[in-house]
Amino acid sequence: MHKINALSDEYIYLETLSSGLKVAIHPTPNFKKTIVTLQVAFGGIDVQYKIGEKDKVIPSGFAHFLEHMLFSNDGRNIAEEFSKYGANINAYTSKSITNYRFDCIDNFDYLLDYLLRSFISSNSGEQSIVKEKKIIEHELNMSMDSLHHKIYQKLKRMMYSDEAITEDVGGTIKDIKSIDKSMLDEVFNTFYHPKNMSLIISGNVDPLEIISFLKAHPYNMHHWSEFKKITRVKNNLPRKIHSHKKVIDNNNANMISIGIKIPSELFDIYSKDYLHISIGSILSNIFGLASKNFDILKKQNLMNVSFSTNSNIERDYGYINIYMQTDKQEKYYNTILKMIKDINALPLDDVLFEIDKKMILGNFITVFDSLPRIHDFISSCIIENIDIENYLKKVMELKLEDLEPIKKIFVKENIFVVRYLKGLK
């Protein structure tokens, strides 16, 4: 077992079991609650892939559907069982991962045992499959009615031709209907292999006792088939249409969503955490509360509480999204686009850059005051192979000139805009 120092008095214990499962344990004796996450490197983008030389294609929404099915795997009802013991369990599927998480105060050993036994094999009943299809079909129909969902989907389809990226994590109703038991079993055996999974435990626990428990557990002792490397097949082509405007009747607000596409080659050069840190630093420098641009937008009454900037960085693609609702849509549209295009040409504010680094440092330290926040951070680091021990060092060593290559993404060919404007009542 490898012990790393995440902060002065905070330690994380890392171990890879004989089955291949990566385990990270963060003992927190001052907290009563224990949080456990089992995560799989399988998400919404994994619909076309290679195993060796074999090409595989599965329906969109498959990872999300399988996540739902495993809650009733082998006739079990995981949610019901956990509630009996006062524990909360939930799951979610993103574009890159599937995540199962529970928290408890008591009965930790039993609940961990129950969770792991639920993921040794896939055995979904036909009735359960039919029932789950109806539930997910209802979910998809509800999300399709949202105008926010529509503008977001439109923006993604303008940026990417790859349907694995543009389709909702839940997939399409047509694709969900095509899923059957044999497909569920095959995909489970492909992706739900211990070598493609990780287990993170945070709480008042003893790392040595947990590792001993895990090594002897049937999950680890199970005779797993050989794990074969999975390579996602990408289908991205250059995009020609960069702007879309539509007037929508009964729309109460002008909605403007801007996407800045991160070139795929940057994912071959930089790690995900570096892209997160550097892009976050640039956005803070350009649109943060203390920035010159924020002040300009505010003085021109082009700023309100709906304004947001965020970066979406997945396993092998990513983009920045800037969103706003405004009555002064034309003026805002022209002003914000000029600000974005100026990022590559104009120097960043060195004072704001240093302030932002100190804020990251402060946030990192306060993360350890919250068990859920530090657990989520460790989980992300493990699935994304981020060096936790040197994370802060990487932030503090970042120089303003290091951001110059990243600034180059803010150019015309990477910028896409969708405007949904107010129509007749």
What is the C-alpha radius of gyration for the chain, rounded to an integer number of angstroms? 23
251/201 same-domain check: no
Nearest residue to 42 via CA among 112, 94, 111, 120 = 94
Contacts of 89-95 with C-beta under 8 Å, sequence gap 24+, read 89/115, 91/67, 92/67, 93/43, 93/44, 93/63, 93/64, 93/67, 93/169, 94/43, 94/44, 94/169, 94/314, 95/43, 95/44, 95/45, 95/165, 95/169, 95/314, 95/315
Q: Would 166 be classed as within a structural domain?
A: yes
163/294 same-domain check: no
329/226 same-domain check: no
Q: Would 237 be classed as within a structural domain?
A: no
CB 85 within 8 A of CB 104: yes
158/258 same-domain check: no
Expressed as residue numbers, the domain containing 40 is 2-232
Q: For the whole model, what pTM was predicted?
A: 0.92
What are 199's strand-pairing partners? 23, 38
> pLDDT truncated to tens, each residue of the chain (425 aa)?
899 988 778 899 999 999 999 999 999 998 999 999 999 999 999 999 999 889 999 999 999 999 999 988 877 889 999 999 999 999 999 999 999 999 999 999 999 999 999 999 998 888 889 989 999 998 888 777 788 889 999 999 999 999 999 999 999 999 999 999 999 999 999 999 999 999 999 999 999 999 999 999 999 999 999 999 999 999 888 899 999 999 988 788 899 999 999 999 999 999 888 999 999 999 999 999 999 999 999 999 999 999 999 999 999 999 999 999 999 999 999 999 999 999 999 999 999 999 999 998 888 889 889 999 999 999 999 999 888 888 888 888 999 999 999 999 999 999 999 999 988 65
Question: Residue 417, SS3?
Answer: strand
Nearest residue to 146 via CA among 27, 32, 302, 251 = 251
Rounded to the nearest 10°, the torsion over CA 255, 95, 64, 34 is -100
Pairing of strands 98-104, 34-40: antiparallel
DSSP secondary structure letters along 211-278: HHHHHTSHHHHS-PPPP--EEEPP--------EEEEEETT--S-EEEEEEEPPTTHHHHS-HHHHHHH
Q: Would 220 be classed as within a structural domain?
A: yes
190/126 same-domain check: yes
Q: Would 60 be classed as within a structural domain?
A: yes
13/152 same-domain check: yes
Question: Residue 315, SS3?
Answer: coil
pLDDT of residue 139: 86
d(CA 311, CA 309): 7
Instruction: Please identify, among 175, 207, 232, the residue that sits at the C-terminal boundary of a domain.
Output: 232
Distances (CA, A) of 139 to 19, 82, 132, 136, 253: 36, 24, 11, 5, 25
Task: List the strands of the sheet with 54-57, edge to edge.
Answer: 54-57, 48-51, 230-232
Q: Would 37 be classed as within a structural domain?
A: yes
Q: Would 178 be classed as within a structural domain?
A: yes
Question: Residue 331, SS3?
Answer: helix
pLDDT of residue 424: 62
18/116 same-domain check: yes
What is the total count of domains within the chain? 2
Instruction: Please identify, among 180, 203, 232, the residue that sits at the C-terminal boundary of a domain.
Output: 232
Q: Would 36 be classed as within a structural domain?
A: yes
248/395 same-domain check: yes
202/343 same-domain check: no
181/140 same-domain check: yes
166/105 same-domain check: yes
Instruction: Please identify, among 232, 257, 283, the residue that sits at the C-terminal boundary of a domain.
Output: 232
For residue 72 the two structure tokens come to: 């009733």
203/293 same-domain check: no
We report the CATH number of the domain holding residue 113 as 3.30.830.10
pLDDT of residue 423: 80
Q: Would 238 be classed as within a structural domain?
A: no
pLDDT of residue 9: 84
